[in-house]
Every structure is written in structure tokens, then in C-alpha cells.
Structure 1
Amino acid sequence: MDAGVVLGDVWQPASEEDQLNLECSRLGGEPTWFRPLSQMSPLRRRGTLNCGYCTQRTTFIGQFSAGSATAPRRLLHVFGCQNPGCGFGRQAWLVLRSTAGSSADALRGARSPVAADSWPCFTLWMYTEPEERHKSDAHELELLERYRASEFAVDEPWLAELSARDWRDEDVAADSESGSDDGEADETQQSAVFQRFTRRLDRSPSQVVRLSRVCKPLWLAKPPPQVTEGAWPPDCELCGAPRRPELQLLPTLLHLTCKLCPERACDGDVGWSTVVVYTCSRDCISEEPCREFVVVQPSV
């Protein structure tokens, strides 16, 4: 995961073998680990994975195989509160990073029950982000239309307009993120940030997650001031190394969850538009999964 951007699309219902395969990124189901959690693990304690706002149990969103050059066997486990109004803030989310202690660890995961709800389990198809699509590329247009007609299509007006919009050059849009005190300039900046987001999403509209340790996150609006001013993310609490962005959950995940899991009511606004996970750049190892830093951008 050290080069470029890897995207994840919802692929198919996960088999029992998929759920135990530590190299398989997936949504929902039950978390699996490199080794069983000890009986004294904080993750086994009641309330450890509860939402910091409503105090209810969070939902296990998914786990992602995120190996790197220095730690080829890594997992990210994501938990989040799906109650309306909770997901807008950091205290509703918990992300755990696990690193295999040795190459001898089995590829088959170990299940250890934790106090969290879950979704039905779906595997993710992980692939490298394609190059920017040109308007003259009829094949890409055909694929886009095919996706819109599929059962996984996201019913968003702005997504339907993507192929007809002529976005500005991405570098120009990114440069405009420097900001201004003028209200009109600020509105232009917000528009440029959103255009950059939709332009990148247009490369593969079915993506629900992004993995990259070298590229900046895609914000739907201006990043939180704590990010732009350097207060977030803090350094790793275990080893002191700086954190860097790695995993991003996209708003398409919300829509697909409602479509694929209709039994889970999607009433109300869960509060977030994108979730960005910052992880230890040193990939430090500990006996227990390490908690990482989450930045949540509220619904826009």
C-alpha cells in the first residue's frame, strides 16, 4: 500500500473462508485477528467499543488488509456508531491497527468475540485507482453507465452529472485550497474542493474505500482547521512516530449499506460524509491492536 491509491468496491457476499482469510478486505461480519485476543484484552471489556456520545455499542464496519513494505501483514479494523446524529464526531469511531509479529503467523484469522454490532459480510474488490478518464473515452463512459444501471449504483444527483461536467484541472483546484478571509473566495474554495472530490470519484464511481499512505485524503469540503493547522493528527502514542493518512471511507459506503442491508433502517442522518484514518508511519508493533486516529467530516 506504499505507492499510489488502492480503491475498494463492494464485491460479493463473503463466504466463511473469506471471513477467516486475513488477506481479504471486507465489510461487516465479525472481526478476525492475527492471534486470539487475550482474556485480559481491553477489547473484551464491556463498553470498550461503545460510542462516546450515545454510549451504545458501535457497529463493526469492516477490516482491511493494508500491508506495507515494512510490515507486509497489517490489518485495520473499523468500528463506528450508526445511530442518527452520532457519526459526525471522532468519539463515535474506533480504528485498530494490528501487525503480524512474524512471518510464521497463519494466514487464517482467529475469531475473538468483541462487544460490537455487525452488518452482513461482503468482500471488497481491491484495485489500483485508474488514470483520469477523458471525455473522448467511450469505453470508460460505457462502464460508468453500466455501473449506474447496476444494483450497486448510488442514487445521487451530483454523481449523475459527473460525465457531463468539465471540471477544472485538479492541480488548480488543489492550489485554491490555500483559503481566504473573503466570503466569496471561501465559497469558491469550497466549490473547488468538492469538484476535486467528484472528479477523482468519477475515475471509479463504485469505490467505497480508498487506501493510500502517500496521497492526500479527498475532502468533500475544506478540511477541519485542526488538520490544516497541523494540530491533527497527533503522533503515535506508543512510539512517538508521526501519523499519516491511510484509509478513507466514502459517502458511497452509506448508500450501499442501505441498499444491501435494507433490514437495517437508514432513518435519519448518521452525520458523516467521509472518515479519514491516520496511522503510525513506523508501523510499531504491540501485543494488542493499536488504536489509531480518526478525522470525521460531517455531512455537507
Structure 2
Amino acid sequence: MAAPDGTLVGVCDSELDPDRHRSSYLTNKVGGQPDWFPGVCPPCPRCSRCGAPLSHVVQVYCPLAASPYHRSLHLFACPGPGCSRGSQGWRVLRSQGLEDQGPQGGTSRPDPAKEAPRPATDWCDTADDWGLEEEEGWGGGVKKEQEEEEAAAPEAGSPSLSSRLQELRLAESHGDLLVFRSFFISVVQESDLWGEEDELEHAQELLREYEGREGVAVRTLEEGGGGGEEKYEKSRARHGDAFFSRFMKRISLCPQQILRYCRGGRTLFISEPPPHVARLVSACGSCGGPRAFELQLMPALVSLLQRTQGGVELEFGTVLVFTCVSSCWTPGSGSAVEEFCFVQTDPDQQLFN
């Protein structure tokens, strides 16, 4: 299978301890409280199915090429019984802010040595990570960024009284809201993973040639767990579902992936979608323009979404997010823009636990 182009795969990194790390809208994370841009009024989204307040699931910092805006997506879900299995229990909100507006709300840009947001031109077309320095690998860049932010905090000055009061009001208003444990998200190019599979397939071919030539059976590679292919065959036999089989085959090299990002790319359905699924994606509620696929949440994320005391709360297979093609935004707007998400249940959740 040809390596897909431009897809980024997100995996769970270390836990984000709010006592040690100060997250901002530049942070890619699971759970915790959402970090909104300065000037954006923090919304309190509710479930369309039961009316309960939604919990924050994922925050993704995703600026676009040639855009002057920082840009983030926030996904929320209802922890109520059965709500997260359908689209009514989810909401996705997009917010943006000009690049000269720093994380603390000032109009001057932070010192790049202390705070290093990726420029808009480094996303989608040319970027290969989400704010990670290449030499840091999968997770070091994000943690290093947080440590540098923490070290720079005294120089940036103490938060204003108004910002402290705002945080206090938010804490009070979310007193009964379920907050999931928070983790950093690290990223890798999916094409790098496919390169590893090519090497494995070549090794298996050499092994088969050796077996045929010598008349012996060596099963080390197959028994040793290189077995994305083996898992795929078992899944296909169990379900008889071509969509699920393709899904398992595609993620077999990194089954622990929790998120896939490819703006304008192809969706990866976990089961057969309804007929004419493209017609279900509504137009942008802000500008009326079309929406396109941008990212999707994966089954491995479910086991991470726990109360601080433990216990899985959400159930889903994959959550597909479609956003405004033009990423419309009104300068100075204080309201996040709602985008569209489509949820599919998982036919075999236990494979990812």
C-alpha cells in the first residue's frame, strides 16, 4: 500500500501536571481545561441529547499556511450514559487570534527564545509537527516548551487581577463539570511509519525465500509481533467488515494513535458510513461556505479519558471533524466558531484497551 501523504499521527505523551506546566493555546493536549485565545469568551457547550454541560476532550493548535492567525480546535463530549456514542453528544469549536497577540493577552509578541509558536506558514504544506523541535523527537519539544514557559513566567510579570478573577469565576462555574486527566500529545508523520513497514515486509520476504530454499520453517518475525498483517486478517475474519478491516490495516503500525490530522485529506471510517455521508456535513454556520475534513479522534483515546480518580467515561469509535474551508474569522470576535463532527461507534473496542 502506498504511503499516505501529509497525515500526522498523534500519540499520548506524559501527563500534563498543572502544578509543573503552564499550558496555553499553543499546547496540544488531551483533557484538562481548554485554553482560549485572549479576548475569546470561554463558552460552556452543552449536550444536544441530554442538555448536560460537556467536558473538554482534546485541544489542537493548528495554524494554517499563509494565515496571520493562531488557530485552535477544541473538542467537547458529554460523559452522560450513551451520549458520546453519537454526534449529538459532541461539539467542536474553532477559535483564532492574530499572531501579534501573545498567550497572556498582550499585544506584543513573546520572545521566541521563551515562547515558540509555529508560524502559520509552517503548518499543513510544510510542517511535520505541532510545535515540536525536530531534534526533540516525539515528546521532548512540547515538554521543553512548557518548561521554558514556566521559567519565563516571572519575567513576563504576574497575571493581572482581572485575569485571576476570570479564572476564579470559571472554576466556580465548572465546579460540577467532569474534567478529564490531561496529557501532552506528541506527533509523528504517518509516512515515517510506513517506511518502517516497508523494511519489515522486505525482511519477511527474505525469510520466506530462505524457508523455501532451505526447506525449514522459521516463524520468529511472525510470532514476534511484527504482526500488523496477522491482526488485520483476524479482524477481517471476525467482522466480515471491509471498512473495519481497512481501518485496522491502516493503523496497524501504530495502534496506540489517539488522533489523525490531515486537513483536506481523506477520512478513515471505522465502519460503513451512511449513504451520501458527504451531504450530512453542513455548511459553515458563520459564513455559509463548505466544510472539509481536518482531523479525527481514534479508539485508543477512550482509555485515556478518565476521571482523576479513574474510570472510563466516554464511548466512541472515531470522531471525524469537518471545518470551514476558508477558516472564516471576524477580527476582534469574542466568540468561537462551531464546526461539524460525525461520530461512529467502535465495533470492537477491546482491541484498543
C-alpha change, 1:223 and 1:166, in structure 2 (3 Å) is closer
CA distance in 2, matches of 1:203, 1:19: 33
- 1:164 is aligned, of 216, 219, 230, to 230
* 2:19 is aligned with 1:23: no
Matched residue, 2:265: 215
- Give the match for residue 78 of structure 1: 75
Match of 1:98 among 95, 99, 109: 95
Does the CA-based 8 Å contact 1:29-1:118 persist in structure 2? yes
Taking structure 1 as reference, are residues 166 and 219 closer, same or farther at Cα in structure 2, changes over 3 Å only? Answer: closer
Q: Residue 248 of structure 1 aligns with which residue? A: 296
Task: Name stretches of at least 5 consecutive residues in structure 1 with no aligned partner.
Answer: 139-158, 168-172, 174-186
Indicate conservation of the 8 Å contact 1:20/1:108, yes or no: no
2:341 match: 294
Give the CA deviation at 1:166: 6.5
Matches of 2:274 and 2:45 in 1, distance apart? 25
TM-score (norm 1): 0.72
Normalized per residue, the structure richer in strand is: 1
Structure 2 CA distance for aligned equivalents of residues 205 and 254 of structure 1 = 13
Report how far residue 58 of structure 1 moved.
1.5
Whichever of the two has the greater Rg, that structure is: 2
Q: Percent identity?
A: 27
**Residue in 2 that maps onto 1:263:** 309
How far residue 264 of structure 1 moved from its aligned partner, in angstroms, is 3.6
1:6 and 2:71 are equivalent in the alignment: no
Quote how far apart the aligned CAs of 1:57 are. Answer: 2.0
- Using the alignment, how far apart are the partners of 2:231 and 2:302 within structure 1? 24
- Matched pairs, number: 246
1:69 CA drift (Å): 0.8
Q: Secondary structure at the match of 2:279?
A: coil
Contact 2:38–2:104 under 8 Å retained in 1:
no
2:105 matched to 1:58?
A: no
Q: Does 1:33 align with 2:83?
A: no
Which residue number in structure 1 is paired with residue 248 of structure 2?
A: 198
For the residue of structure 1 that corresponds to 2:267, the secondary structure is coil
1:141-152 mapped onto 2 (5 Å cutoff)? none
The answer to whether the 8 A contact 1:18-1:24 is kept is no
Provide, for residues 68-121 of structure 1, a one-character-per-residue CA deviation record: whole Å limited to 9, x for no partner: 114352100111012231112222111100111x22111457876364431121
Q: CA RMSD in A?
A: 3.1
State the TM-score, normalizing by the size of structure 2: 0.62
Structure 1 residue 117 corresponds to structure 2 residue 182: no
Q: Please, which runs of 5 or more residues in structure 2 have no aligned partner?
A: 106-162, 204-224, 348-353
Is the 1:22–1:108 contact (alpha carbons within 8 Å) kept by the matching residues of 2? Answer: no
Say which structure is richer in helix. 2
1:277 aligns with 2:342: no
Give the conservation status (yes or no) of the 8 Å contact 2:40–2:95. no
Q: Is the Cα contact below 8 Å between 1:18 and 1:123 reproduced in 2?
A: no
